[in-house]
């Protein structure tokens, strides 16, 4: 019987180093802008008596913390791998994104509770000051969003930070609308109502990032990758007879990983089959980090007839 060949091959295009520097710079700029204006917005909320401004300031406080957390995660993710942590700290990004999502949930709950209390006992609100601060907040958030959007890339961490800022943009627009209503009509409850709407936007933002980060931590297949489709494509490669124990997951955002046990026909070139599979996975599915165990199918056993 022909002995089986074992071929363990690892690609190393991690897809994570090129954009880390851009991530770091974008997160630092966004964090600085958010932190500086957060203090101005909190002071404005106290002076004008606007819960919507205070809610938005609270959201920006969580943003500031989250952005600095994300910045630290990017720096950790850039540290080299060690014999103990063979993938380095790349999943620090995912943990930061998860923490960001949890923070958003906490902020949204606080806003709803406070808004309900304000509906029972509305405060006197200075609409003019509220409008001025909200417009400035919108400008700051738009600049921060532009910086993060330009960094973009595949980083779940930067996407999480960008969702925070998008929620802040929506919040600023809501505060502007509330301020205009108060100035025009004097109807104070609009402040609490807008605050509740802001909290719903925050919660929606949180759900998306929580789902994505948990999927990575649970090693689900990356979004947009069909494991069954990839398996059939691999099995269609010449000389490949069977593909099983197929696993596809992400180490971190933009870093899909695949492992599989592949059986080829007796006498087939294991190394050639492995190279063909790697080329297929790279060109068609953009998966570069693979571990493929390629072996020959055993020859069919002869027929034994017992008497």
Is 146 within 8 Å of 12 (Cβ atoms)?
Answer: no
**Are 136 and 181 in contact, with CB atoms under 8 Å apart?**
no
C-alpha distances (whole Å) from 142 to each of 164, 197, 200 are 12, 20, 20
Nearest to 157 by CA among 106, 95, 229: 95
> What pLDDT is recorded for position 254?
75
DSSP-derived pairing of the beta strands 8-10 and 240-250:
unpaired
Half-sphere exposure of 223 (CA within 13 A, CB side): 13
194: exposed, middle or buried (Cβ count in 10 Å: 0-12, 13-18, 19+): buried
Distances (CA, A) of 197 to 32, 102, 203, 208: 26, 19, 10, 17
∠134-138-142 over CA atoms, to 5°? Answer: 170
pLDDT at 157: 66
Cα distance between the two ends of the chain: 26
8 A C-beta contact, residue 244 and residue 277: no
Q: Please give the chain's pLDDT, 307 residues, in tens.
A: 333 444 444 444 344 444 455 667 777 888 888 888 888 888 888 888 888 888 778 777 777 777 777 677 667 766 787 778 777 777 777 887 788 788 888 888 888 888 888 887 777 788 898 899 989 989 988 998 888 888 765 566 677 778 778 877 888 888 899 999 999 998 888 988 988 887 887 787 788 788 888 998 988 898 889 999 999 999 999 999 999 899 999 987 778 999 999 999 888 899 999 999 999 999 999 999 999 999 988 776 555 455 5
Please report which residue ranges of the chain form alpha helices under DSSP H. 20-48, 51-77, 92-120, 127-151, 156-185, 190-217, 227-235, 270-285
Three-state SS at 23: helix
pLDDT at 303: 54
Residue 73 phi, psi (nearest 5): -65, -40
Question: With a threshold of 0.85, does the pTM exceed it?
Answer: no
User: Which pLDDT belongs to residue 272?
Assistant: 92
Contacts of 147 (CB under 8 A, 6+ apart): 26, 29, 30, 33
Cα–Cα dist 93/252, whole Å: 7
Torsion over CA of 213, 217, 222 and 223, rounded to 10 degrees? -30
**Residue ranges of domains in the chain, CATH in brackets:** 20-217 (1.20.1510.10), 222-296 (3.30.360.10)
Q: How many residues does the chain have?
A: 307
């Amino acid at each position: 019987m022909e002995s089986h060949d074992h071929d363990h091959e690892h690609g190393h295009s991690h897809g994570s180093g090129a954009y880390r520097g851009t991530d770091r710079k974008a997160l630092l700029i966004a964090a600085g802008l958010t932190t500086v204006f957060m203090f101005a917005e909190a002071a404005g909320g106290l002076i004008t008596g606007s819960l919507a401004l205070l809610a938005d300031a609270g959201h920006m406080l969580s943003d500031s913390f989250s952005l600095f957390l994300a910045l630290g995660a990017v720096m950790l993710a850039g540290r080299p791998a060690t014999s103990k942590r063979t993938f380095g700290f790349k999943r620090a990004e995912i943990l930061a994104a998860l923490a960001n999502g949890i923070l958003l949930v906490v902020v949204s709950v606080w806003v709803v509770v406070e808004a309900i209390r304000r509906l029972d006992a509305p405060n006197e609100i200075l609409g003019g000051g509220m409008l001025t601060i909200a417009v400035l907040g919108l400008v700051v958030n738009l600049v921060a969003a532009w910086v993060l959007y330009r960094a973009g890339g595949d980083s779940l961490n930067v996407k999480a930070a960008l969702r925070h800022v998008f929620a802040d943009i929506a919040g600023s627009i809501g505060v502007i609308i509330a301020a205009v209503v108060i100035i025009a009509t004097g109807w104070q409850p609009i402040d609490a109502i807008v605050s509740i709407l802001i909290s719903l936007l925050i919660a929606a933002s949180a759900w998306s990032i929580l789902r994505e980060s948990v999927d990575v931590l649970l090693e689900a297949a990356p979004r947009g990758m069909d494991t069954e489709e990839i398996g059939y494509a691999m099995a269609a490669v010449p000389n490949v007879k069977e593909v099983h124990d197929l696993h596809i997951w992400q180490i971190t955002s933009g870093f899909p990983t695949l492992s599989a046990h592949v059986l080829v026909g007796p006498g087939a070139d294991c190394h050639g089959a492995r190279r063909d599979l790697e080329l297929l996975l790279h060109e068609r599915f953009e998966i570069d980090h693979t571990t493929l165990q390629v072996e020959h199918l055993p020859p069919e056993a002869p027929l034994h007839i017992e008497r």
